[in-house]
Amino acid sequence: MAETLTAAVDILKQNKLKLTKQRHALLEFLLTNQGHYTDIVAVDAYMRTEFPGMSHNTVYRNLKEFEEVGIVEQNTEQERTRVKYQCDFHHQHHHHFICQNCGKVTELQMCPMDFFAEQLPGYDITGHSFELYGICADCKAAGVSESLVKN
């Protein structure tokens, strides 16, 4: 965890962002939950508990800045915005499998864009988002089926 925190601090410095007490606490919170996306409302609630005078805008601005410099990944599902600590600082472009039961995030090692680009000759693809959802192996072994998934 210390190496990952050091990497994030280095990224902040490279982008001329100060490491405040609040940003340090936010990084630590994200690191303790790095294997899962966390609802942005829960991140806000945690930060405002730790720093009662902190505004919602400050929390959201810091998360946005973290996303812009590649420390945080953002995901929106069913109109809920969630964030997680970056999986891989060296390969920021990647995709995930997300367990719909426990929320575990598994990084996928392949991007399907070449497949789609071949089907769209002459088109300019300007961006994409690709995630797989289902039940992870641990939840499946524990007897969780798709019909029992949390919503």
102 labelled binding-site residue: yes
Phi, psi (5° rounding) for residue 84? -150, 160
94 labelled binding-site residue: no
128 labelled binding-site residue: yes
Contacts of 83 (CB under 8 A, 6+ apart): 30, 37, 38, 40, 43, 63, 66, 67, 72, 73, 74, 75
- Give 91-149 as a DSSP string: ----EEEEETTT-BEEEES--THHHHHHTSTT--------EEEE--HHHHHTT--GGG-
Structural contact between residues 133 and 105, judged by C-beta atoms closer than 8 angstroms: no
111 labelled binding-site residue: no
The binding site for Fe cation consists of 93, 128
The binding site consists of 93, 99, 102, 128, 136, 139
The binding site for Zn(2+) consists of 99, 102, 136, 139
